[in-house]
Structure 1
Amino acid sequence: MSLDPYQIKRSLSTPQGDLTYWSLFELCQQGKSIQKLPFSIRILLENALRNFDDFAITKENIDTILNWSPSPSDKDIPFKPARVLMQDFTGVPAVVDIASLRAEAVRKGKDGQKINPLIPVDLVIDHSVQVDYFGTNYSYKKNVDVEYERNGERYQLLKWAQTAFDNFSVVPPGMGICHQVNLEYLAQGVIVRDGQIFPDTLVGTDSHTPMVNGIGVVGWGVGGIEAEAAILGQPINFIMPEVVGLKLTGSLPLGTTATDMVLTITQLLRSHGVVGKFVEVFGPGLDTLSVPDRATIANMSPEFGCTVTYFPIDDRTLDYMAKTNRSEEQIKLVEQYCKENLLWRKDEEQIEYSSVVELNLDNVEPTVAGPKRPQDKILLREFKSKFGEILQDVHGREYIPIDKRDVSRWYEEGGSSQPTEQASSMPSDVEIETKLRDGLKTVVVKLHNEKFALHDGSVVIAALTSCTNTSNPNVMIGAGLVAQKARQRGLDVKPWVKTSLAPGSKVVTDYLIKANLLDDLEALRFHLVGYGCTSCIGNSGPLPKHIAKAVEENDLVVASVLSGNRNFEARVHPQVKMNYLMSPMLVVAYALAGRVDIDLNSEPLGYDPNLEPVYLKDIWPSNEEIFEVVSKVLSPGDFEKNYGEIFEGNEQWKNLEAPKDPVYQWNEKSTYIKEAPFFDGISEEIAEPKDIKNAHVLLKLGDSITTDHISPAGAFSEVSAAGKFLLERGVPKENFNSYGSRRGNDEIMVRGTFANVRIKNELSTKEGGYTIHIPSGEEMNVYDAAQKYKETNTPLLVLAGKEYGSGSSRDWAAKGTSLLGVKAVLAESYERIHRSNLVGMGVLPLQYAEGDNAETLELSGKEKFSIENIESGLEVGKRLLVHVENEDGQRKSFEVISRLDSGIEIEYFKHGGILNYVFRQFLQRDNS
C-alpha cells in the first residue's frame, strides 16, 4: 500500500473521472527545486513517491532523487516500471524461468498458480525470422513457413504462457518488432490504473528499448534476469545517474538523413563518455526533429553506452500520437497530466545537467559507421580511403583500388589460377576460380553462364533491416525513391548481393505500396523477407552457396551494408568481416555499386544501358520529394488497420496447438525447451558466500568484449560443442536453427557461451571459443575445459579489460557464465546491463583498482587466484584482497573493488541470484 510522506497526493479531474496523482508541483510549493531537475529525474522521483512503502522503497531513496545534483550521490535508487516489454529470444527463457519457479513451487507443496507477472508484460515475437529466402515475391511466405517449422515448440510455450499467466500478452510472429510496436502502439505517454494516473514507464529485454524515449516514455533495456524480477514485483535498483544534456542547434542540411545524424551523435557521446548515465535532449534544434527522428536517436542509446536518451513530451509528441491513431481522449490526458505535473517540455534553461554536449545539426554530413563498432564513424567522402586503411591495418592486405587492378587483363593472362572443387550441393554449372596477380586476389565466379568477380570490399549483404530506421518514414520513403530513380536509369543490384527488406511493422509496407515504391524496391530484389529483427541480430541467413564457397575458400574480406544499429564482429554473418551501418538510402546505393571501396561523391554507381555513368547525386531524392510523398501516404488509418489485429496472428498462429495445463509439462526429449536448472531443489535458507580459493582463469580477454562475444548468438556449426550435442541426439545440421531459437534449453546455451568465432582468448592459440585447461596444458573448447574443471571442483574466473559486456542485454551472457562454473569476473570496467546480470546470476563482478589491469599486474592468466574478504561480510564498493600464485610458485597480492553497487545487489548475490531471492520471498510469504 502506497504512503505519502510529503503529503502531495492530489486529485486530477479528467474525462475518465477524478484520478489520484503525486504532484511534483506541490513539492515546488514546499520549496523543492523541481524545475532544476532534468525531466527524466522528475519521472524517477514521481515513481519513487508513488511506490513508497518504507521497505523496498524508503524515504531515504526519495530524498536521494529529490536532492539530485549535477554530481549526484552514489547511492542506489529503486525503480518500479509500469510494464515490461519482451522479445521472444529473451522472452522464452523468461517464460521458462517463471514456469520452472511454478514447477518448483508445486514440488514444495505450494500453489504454483500464485506465481504470475504482477505488472503487464507484452511479448513481441520478432527475433526468430531468418532470411533464408530473398529476392523473390515468395520470400516472405517461405521465410514464415520455415520460421514456424523451426520454432513451433517455442511458440507453443509462448501461446501456453498467454493463457496460463495473468498480465501476459503475446504479439504473434509477423506483426512487427517490439520497439516499433511499442513506439507506434503500446506506449501511451501516461497510464491510468487502479484510479491513479502516472507516467508510462517500462523496462525491456532488448537493449534498444530506449527507442520509446523518443515519445517521452522513460524506458531502458535490462537483461531477462532483471526483467523477470520486475515482473515478479521487485524494484530495479541502480546508482543515481548523472544526466548529460545533449543540446541540439541548427537543422539537418539538404542531402543528410536522420541516420547520418544519429551516427554522428553516437561518436560524439561515446567520446564524451555516457556509460551508465542518462542523456536528455534539449535546445532549439529539437524543434526541427520529428518524433521518428527522435526515436532514431533514442534507439541508439546502447551504442552511446547510456541508459536512456530522453525527449520530454511536447507538441510534436502529441502530433505523433495523433498520427499513429492514439485516441483523442488519451492525447488530451497526456497533455493535461504532463502540464499539470511539470513533465511538459518548457523552461529548459532552468535545468541543471551534469554536463552538456552540443551538436550543431548544420554540420552533419553523410555518414556510415563500421566495420565492427557503431561508434566508429566514417564520413561518406572518406569511406573509400578508410576502407583501404582498415584492409591494410586490420587484415594485413595490400589495397589497390579496383580501377587500378586491370581485372580484364587478369582474365586474359590468367595469372596464377587456382580452380576449386565444386561442392556436391552446388549447381552443376558453378565455377569458382581464383586469380592472383601481384599478390592480390580476385575470385571469379561463373553461375548460369554469368561471370562476375568478387574481391575484398565486395558487398554480399545489403539489408534494409528493422529497428533504428524502419520506424522513420522519411528514410524508408527515401530508400524507395532511390530505388525508383535507379530503376528509371536502368541500374540494377549486383548479382552477388543478398538483398532484404525487413520492416518493423506492417505500416511500412502499406505506405510503400501506397507510394508505388515497393515495386521499385522489389525490382532491385529488396523484397519483403519478414517483419522482425534480421541482420542486426545475426539472422541474415546463409549466403548463396556459390558466394559462401568463394568467400570461405579464398578468405575474402567482404562487406555488409545495413540500416540497423549493431555491427559487432561475426554478428551480422560469420563470413562477413566488415559490416557498415548507414541510412536505408545508402544501403540501396551500395547494393547498386556492389562494393564499398568506391567514392560515391565522384565515382559512378554504374552505367545505364547507353553506357552513360550514373552517380549517386543523379538518384538521390530531395527533402521536398520525400516530405511530399510521406504527407500523401501516411495516415492514422494505416495504424488503426494494422494494430487493430495485432494480437490475432496469421492462420499458422491461430491453428497452433498449445498446452492447457497451468503448470507446464516438460518434454524430456526436447532440445528447445527444458526446465531451468537454477531452482530445482533450491533450499529455503541461504548459505553465506565464501571466499574464492585456488581458482583458475577460464578466459583472459581484452577490451570491448561484448555480450555477442560472451552469449550464444546466431548460427553454429556441427563441430561446436552445441552442434556435437545436437548431433548426438539425432538432430541433423540443417535443423540446428540458431542459438537464439534454443534459448529455452540450458544444455545448448551453456555450450555456446564464449563460443563466438571471433572471440580472442589470450590463453588460447586459436581464435574462437577455445582455451587452455591450465593443469593439463591441453587446448580445447571452453565448455569442455569448464567440465574438466568441474570434475575437480575448481572455481573459475574471467579476466577482462575495459567495457566488459557492452552491447545487447543478453541474459544468457550471465546465465552461461554461471553455469560454466565462473565465480567472479575481474575487469577494468563494465557496461551497465551485463554487470547487473552477473550479479543477478550470483557471479561476483570485480573491478581492478585505479591504474591496475592485467598488464600492469603482469597477470598471464595461468596463475592460481584466491579472493579474500568475501565471507567477512560484503558492502557496497568493498575492497577485496586477491592472492596470486604463478606457475613457478611466486606469489603477489593486490586489491580489487567489489562491484555490488547496492544493498539489494548484495542480497541477490548472497542468495545466488535475483530469482532465487524472489522465490525465497514467495516461499516465506506462502509459509506465513
Structure 2
Amino acid sequence: MSRDEMPDTLQSLEAGGTTYHYYSLPKAADALGSIDRLPKTLKILLENQLRFASEPSVAREDMQALVDWQQGGRSSREIGYRPARVLMQDFTGVPGVVDLASMRAAVEKLGEEPSRINPLSPVDLVIDHSVMVDKFGNPTAFKDNVAIEMERNRERYEFLRWGQDAFDNFRVVPPGTGICHQVNLEYLGRTVWTKQEDGKTFAYPDTLVGTDSHTTMINGLGVLGWGVGGIEAEAAMLGQPVSMLIPEVVGFKLTGRLKEGITATDLVLTVTQMLRSRGVVGKFVEFYGDGLADLPLADRATIANMAPEYGATCGFFPVDDETLAYLRLTGREDGQIALVEAYSKAQGLWREPGDEPIFSDTLHLDMGDVEASLAGPKRPQDRVALKDMKATFEKLMQGEENDKAPPSEEKGRLFSEGGQTAVGVHDSYEHHDSQSVELDGEQFRLDPGAVVIAAITSCTNTSNPSVMLAAGLLARNAHAKGLTTKPWVKTSLAPGSKVVTEYLAAGGVQGDLDALGFNLVGYGCTTCIGNSGPLPPPIEKAIEDGDLTVASVLSGNRNFEGRIHPLVKTNWLASPPLVVAYALAGNVRLDLTQDPLGEDRDGNPVYLQDIWPSQADIANAVEKVKTEMFRKEYAEVFEGDETWKALQVPQSQVYEWSPSSTYIQHPPFFEGMGRDPEPIEDVRDAHILALLGDSVTTDHISPAGSIKPDSPAGRYLQERGIKPVDFNSYGSRRGNHEVMMRGTFANVRIRNEMLDGVVGGETRHVPSGEQMAIYDAAMKYQEKGTPLVVIAGKEYGTGSSRDWAAKGTRLLGVRAVIAESYERIHRSNLIGMGVVPLQFPEGESRQTLGMSGDETISIEGLADLTPGGKVTVTVKSAKGEKKLEALCRIDTANELEYYRHGGILHYVLRRMIGAA
C-alpha cells in the first residue's frame, strides 16, 4: 500500500534540543476515525502499521480494522507486526545462533553468499540462564559458581563470542551481569526508540519480541513486548513480520493502595489468579485506573512479568510520570526522558487521570483487598493465602494418600488429572515417615513439608527494590533476635542485576542476609528455571528413602512439576521476605500468621509479625537506591570479566563445526533442502507416540533441568566420555540437537496415559508392546518409516517459550499434534517447525474416544489447508474407526506459508536468497 492513500502523517517534534520525525496517530485518525478510546496497546500496533504502510504485508484495511475494533472490542483481521528489536537469553539464544549459523552453511551450500544471513533488527542476547547453585551459604559462593559456570559452558560461550563477531546488529551481555528482563528494564529499554534514516531522526514506540516468555516484564515501562519461540524471533530479526490476529484487549482497573505488610508479590499473585480465572489466553491485558498513580514502576514490572502465568500475551502499563521517574532513576539520559514525554503525549500514549478506553472485557481490583499469599504447589495461578498454607499442605498430603489407594477408597484429591485444584478430605499424613539425617555434624529429623530450598531468585521480584529490601530488613530483624535458618534448607540469593547488590549493601542488610545463609550465588535465573543445583547428599537420600513430600519456596514465577528439583514435589512462589521467613521456619506445614518461626536467644517464641519490616522502614531503605548505582553497573555492560575477554574464537563468516563438541552441533533441519519446497503429503496410519492429559507444559515436553544418567540423553553423553557430574542441564545443551531430541518428553513428572501408573518419559512401542523411553520408541518407528502423532488434552504447551519443545517434536518424527487447546507460543512454534497443530472438535477428546494409544491416526486434507480450516482425522482401533473434522490451528496466511515451506526458517532462507 502507498502512503499516498493516507493523508500526510509525517510530523516532527522538538525534545531535549533535538528534532524528531514521527508518523502521527492523530493525523491518521483524521482519515480512519477517532482513536481517542482505543487501548494504548492497539495504538502502538496502529503506529506500527502506519510506519510500515509501504510494505506489501500492510494494507489500509489493516489500519481501519484496528480503528474499527472499538465498535465491538474484537476483530478477526490478521496483521503483520514488526517489532523494533529482539531480546534473547542464552538458553534460547544459543540454538537461535546455531540456527543462524546453520542457515549460513545452507546458503553457502546453495551457492549463495553466507554473509547475506544477518539480523536486520537489533538483537541483544543476555547470558543469564547458565549459572547453577552448586555452592551456597558461604562468602565464596558467587566466585565459585561463576568459575564452575565458565568451565561448564566454555564451548557455548566461545560460540556466542563467535556470533558476536560474525553477525551484524548482534550484541551479547556476558555472564555474571544479570537477568535479561532486568537488564532490559534497567538499561536496554528506551520506551521510545529512534533510528536514523534519510538524514532524519525518526521516533517510534520501543517494541520487541523475546525468546523468553517473561519478556512481558518490559511492559511495565510502557514498552510493548512479549515472548515468542526462538524460531519466530529469528524470523523477526531477519526482517519477517510477526503474523498475528488483532487481539482482544482486557482492561484491568486498579484502584486503592496496598495495606501495611502486603507486598507487590502478593498483588501479582492475586492478579494472576483473577486473570487466569477470567481466561485471557492469547489476549492483551492493559492496566488502567487511578490506582496506577500510586503504583511504583517496579511493582508494575512485577505484574507485567507474570503475564505468561495469567495466560495473556502481555500485561501493559501506559506511560506516565512514574515511567519518567524510573527512567531518571535508572540513569537514562535527560534527552531520552524528554523524548519519551513529548512523543507519548503527541501520540495519545500518555496515561491521563480518568482514562477509560474501550476494552473487550474488564476486571477491577481494589489493591486494599490484597492479602499475603503464596502460589503452588505446581501452578503459579493457584494462589493460597498465607494463613491457609498449613491446611492446604495437609490436604495435599491426603490427596497423595488417595492417589495410592484403590479408586473405591478415594476421599478426594488435591489434583485432578487435568491439573485443576479439587481439595479432598484430610485424615492424616503420618504415612509419610520422617527421616533421621546427619549433615555437617548436626543431627535432625526431616519431616513432610520440610523446606529444602529457599531461594530469592528470578526476574519477577529481584528487579523490585521494595521486596528485595524488605527481605533484607526481615533478615536484619531475625538476625538481631538470634534466629537462624534450619539446617536442611538450601538458601540462595540470585539478584537480577549487580545494582541489587549495590543497594542491599547501601541499605546495610547484606550482612544479615549472609548470616542467614542468603549469600550471593550468582546473577541469573538459577532456581526458577531448575538451576537449583544438587541438595546435600544426606538430604536427597532422606527424601528418597522416606518418599518424603518436601517443599521449595522461591520468589520466582514458575513452579511446574519437576522444574525446580526432581525430588521436590511441591514448590511455592512467594515474596522475597516470605522466602526468608520460610527458611527460618523450615516447614510449610505451619501457619505463619499464628505459629512461631523459632525462638530468640532467651527461648521466647518469635512470630512473623515480630520481624516483619514496616512500610516506613522499607520506604526509607528504598530511598537509598540511587541513580549512580545504575550508571556504575551498566557503564561497561557488554565488556565481561577477564575470563570472558580471554575466550578464543575463530574469525570466520561460516562456523567451523566440531564433531567432538557435546554442546554445539550442526542441526539437520536444512539437510537436503532445495530452492523450492516439497509438496505436503497427508498422514497415513501414524502411531501415537504419547497420549497426554491437560496442562502439559513445555517443561514436560522439553525439560531445562537436570539430565538423568540412565536417560537417552544421559547415555549419549556418557558414550562420549562425559561423566554425570559434568552433564550440566538440558537448557545449557540446547545447541546440541542430539541431546535435545533425546530429552524431548523426558521430564521426570510427565505422565503418558499409554502406560498405567508410570511417571517419566516412557511410552509403549505399539508393534512390539514393549515399554521404553519415548526417544527409543521414536527411533524404532523412524527405522520403519512410520509417521507419529501426539495426542493431548487442554492447554497443551503452557509455560516458557521453548523452541526445542517444537524442534524435538519434529526430530522425533511427529507430523501432527492433536489437542483440545493450545498455548499461543507453542502452537506457533509447532507450525514454525513444520508440525501441524490440530484441535479436537468441540465435545471430543481422547477420553470421549476412549483412546488407549494403540490406535492409528490418518489425516487427510493437509495439501489443501486454509487458515482455520478443517481436516479429516480417522482414528482406527480394534473396535473400528471414527472420522473427526478437526480444526487446523494454522490461524493465519503467514503461518500457512511457513508450514508449506517445512518451517519458518526454511521460508525465510528461501526469501533471503530470492527463491520464495
* TM-score, normalised relative to structure 1: 0.94
Deviation at 1:830, TM superposition (A): 0.5
Secondary structure of 2:379 counterpart:
coil
2:462 aligns to what SS in structure 1?
Answer: coil
Match among 684, 697, 709 for residue 700 of structure 2:
709
Aligned to 1:830: 822
Determine the structure 1 residue equivalent to 2:233.
227
| SS at 1:35 equivalent | coil
Matched residue, 1:593: 585
- Mapped contact 1:384–1:599 kept (Cα < 8 A): yes
- Report what 1:115 is aligned to: 117
Q: 2:159 aligns with which of 157, 160, 167?
A: 157
Q: Structure 2 CA distance, aligned partners of 1:519 and 1:77?
A: 53
Alignment partner of 1:545 out of 537, 542, 556: 537
Q: SS at 1:365's partner residue? A: coil
Q: Secondary structure at the match of 2:914?
A: helix
Distance 1:364 1:253, change over 3 A: same
Q: Which residue of 2 aligns with 1:187?
A: 189
Distance 1:689 1:35 in 2: 46
* Secondary structure at the counterpart of residue 556 of structure 1: coil
User: Cα deviations across residues 356-390 of structure 1 (Å, max 9, x unaligned)?
Assistant: 01111111000000000000000001111111001
The aligned residue for residue 898 of structure 1 is 888
Matches within 5 A, 1:434-473: 439-473=431-465
Work out which of the residue numbers 296, 318, 325 in structure 2 matches 1:319: 325
Code of the residue aligned with 1:695 in structure 2: it is: A
Tell me the residue number matched to 1:798: 790
Which residue does 1:841 correspond to in 2? 833
Structure 2 counterpart of 1:422 = none
Paired residue secondary structure (2:6): coil
- Find the partner of 1:857 among 843, 849, 862: 849
Report whether the alignment pairs 1:499 with 2:491. yes
User: What is the 5 A alignment of 1:312-351?
Assistant: 312-346=318-352, 349-351=355-357
Counterpart CA distance in 1 for 2:55 and 2:519 is 56
Task: Assess, with a 3 A threshold, how the Cα gap between structure 1 residues 367 and 439 changes in structure 2: closer, same or farther.
Answer: closer
Aligned partners of 2:695 and 2:793 also within 8 Å: yes
Q: Which amino acid counterpart does residue 590 of structure 1 have in structure 2? A: Y
Equivalent position to 1:666, from 657, 676, 681: 657
2:96 corresponds in structure 1 to 94
For the pair 1:918 / 2:904, whether they are aligned, the reply is: no
Match in the other structure for 2:143? 141
**Amino acid aligned to 2:58:** I
- Spell out, residue by residue over 1:12-47, the C-alpha distance to the aligned partner (whole angstroms, 9 max, x if none): 234464332111111233361211210000000101
Q: Secondary structure at the match of 1:717?
A: coil
Distance 1:155 1:692 in 2: 41
Report the equivalent of 2:222: 216
Q: What RMSD over aligned residues (CA atoms) do the two structures have, in Å?
A: 1.6
Q: 8 Å contact 2:41–2:286 — kept in the other structure?
A: yes
CA drift of 1:505 comes to: 0.2
CA contact (8 A) 2:32 2:64 kept: no
- Amino acid in the other structure paired with 1:6: M
Asked if the contact 2:456–2:492 (Cα under 8 Å) also holds between the matched residues in 1, the reply is yes
Asked if the contact 2:209–2:215 (Cα under 8 Å) also holds between the matched residues in 1, the reply is yes
CA contact (8 A) 2:290 2:353 kept: no
Q: 373-382 vs 346-355, which deviates more? A: 346-355
**Aligned partner of residue 461 in structure 1, secondary structure:** strand
Tell me, what secondary structure is at the counterpart of 1:352? Answer: coil
SS at match of 2:913: helix
Q: Percent identity?
A: 56
Are 1:269 and 2:275 counterparts?
Answer: yes
- Alignment partner of 1:305 is 2:295: no
Equivalent in the alignment of 1:290? 296
C-alpha separation in 1, matches of 2:673 and 2:17: 47
Task: Give 1:600 shift.
Answer: 0.7
How far did residue 395 of structure 1 move? Answer: 5.0
Residue 135 (structure 2) pairs with residue 128 (structure 1): no
2: CA distance between counterparts of 1:861 and 1:575? Answer: 29
Q: 1:4 to 1:547 in 2, by over 3 A?
A: farther
Distance of 1:134 and 1:539 partners within structure 2: 13
- Determine if contact 1:210/1:221 at 8 Å carries over to the other structure: yes
| Alpha-carbon displacement from aligned partner over 1:862-912 (angstroms, at most 9, x marks no partner) | 1111111222x1111111111121034x11111100000000100000001
Deviation at 1:447, TM superposition (A): 3.2
Aligned to 2:640: 649
Mapped partners of 1:642, 1:448: distance in 2: 37
Q: 1:383 to 1:748 in 2, by over 3 A?
A: same
Structure 2: unaligned runs, 5 residues or longer: 405-427
Q: Hey, what's the Cα distance between the residues in 2 that align with 1:359 and 1:467?
A: 24
The CA distance in 2 between the partners of 1:881 and 1:279, in whole Å, is 35
Distance across 2 between alignment mates of 1:332 and 1:386: 50
2:473 to 453, 463, 481: 481
2-structure distance, mates of 1:773, 1:63: 53
Matched-pair contact (CA < 8 Å) for 2:816–2:838: yes
Structure 1 CA distance, aligned partners of 2:278 and 2:27? 36
Q: Deviation at 1:714?
A: 0.6
User: What is the alpha-carbon distance in structure 2 between the residues aligned to residue 266 and residue 220 of structure 1?
Assistant: 17
8 Å CA contact retained: 2:16, 2:336: no
In structure 2, the partner of 1:750 is: 741
Residue equivalent to 1:43? 44
Q: Deviations over 1:537-558 (max 9, x none)?
A: 0000000111111112221101
Query: 657-666 or 622-631: which moved more?
Result: 657-666
Give 3-state SS (helix, strand or coil) of 2:483's partner. Answer: coil
For residue 556 of structure 1, the aligned residue among 542, 548, 562 is 548
User: What is the CA–CA distance in structure 2 between the aligned matches of 1:677 and 1:876, rounded to whole Å?
Assistant: 28
Amino acid at match of 2:479: R
Q: Name the CA shift for 1:491/1:738 in 2 (closer, same or farther; >3 Å).
A: same
Give 2:709's aligned residue. 718
**Which residue matches 2:594?**
602
Measure, in 2, the Cα distance between the counterparts of 1:513 and 1:906: 54
2:777 to 785, 794, 808: 785
**Count, aligned residues:** 887
Partner Cα separation in structure 1 for residue 650 and residue 541 of structure 2: 43
Alignment partner, residue 623 of structure 1: 615
SS in 2 for 1:357: strand
Question: Which position in structure 2 is the counterpart of 1:885?
Answer: 876
Residue type matched to 1:50 in 2?
A: R
Match for residue 631 of structure 2? 640
- Provide the C-alpha distance between the structure 1 equivalents of 2:119 and 2:21, rounded to a whole number of angstroms: 24
Change (3 A) 1:438 1:758: closer
In the aligned structure 1, how far is the partner of 2:566 from the partner of 2:440?
Answer: 27
Q: 1:887 to 1:181 in 2, by over 3 A?
A: same
1:896 to 1:660, Cα distance in 2 relative to 1, 3 A: same
Report the counterpart of residue 407 of structure 2 in structure 1.
Answer: none
Match of 1:241 in 2: 247
- The aligned residue for residue 817 of structure 1 is 809
Aligned to 1:369: 375
Q: Which runs of 5+ in 1 are unaligned?
A: 399-435
Residue matched to 2:174: 172
Within the alignment, does 1:6 sit opposite 2:12 as a pair?
no
**In structure 2, what is the Cα distance between the partners aligned to 1:922 and 1:281?**
40
1:677 Cα offset (Å): 1.0
Deviation at 1:348, TM superposition (A): 5.1
Deviations 1:265-292 (A, max 9, x none): 1100000000000000001211110000
Partner SS, residue 267 of structure 1: helix
Residues 59, 620 of structure 1: alpha-carbon distance in 2 compared, 3 angstrom cutoff: same
User: What's the secondary structure of 1:94's corresponding residue?
Assistant: helix
Measure, in 1, the Cα distance between the counterparts of 2:318 and 2:75: 24
Secondary structure in structure 2 of the residue aligned to 1:723? helix
Q: TM-score w.r.t. structure 2 length?
A: 0.95
* Compared CA separation, residues 2 and 479, structure 1 to 2 (3 A): farther
CA offset digits 1:609-648 (Å, max 9, x no partner): 21100000100000000001111x2111000000001111
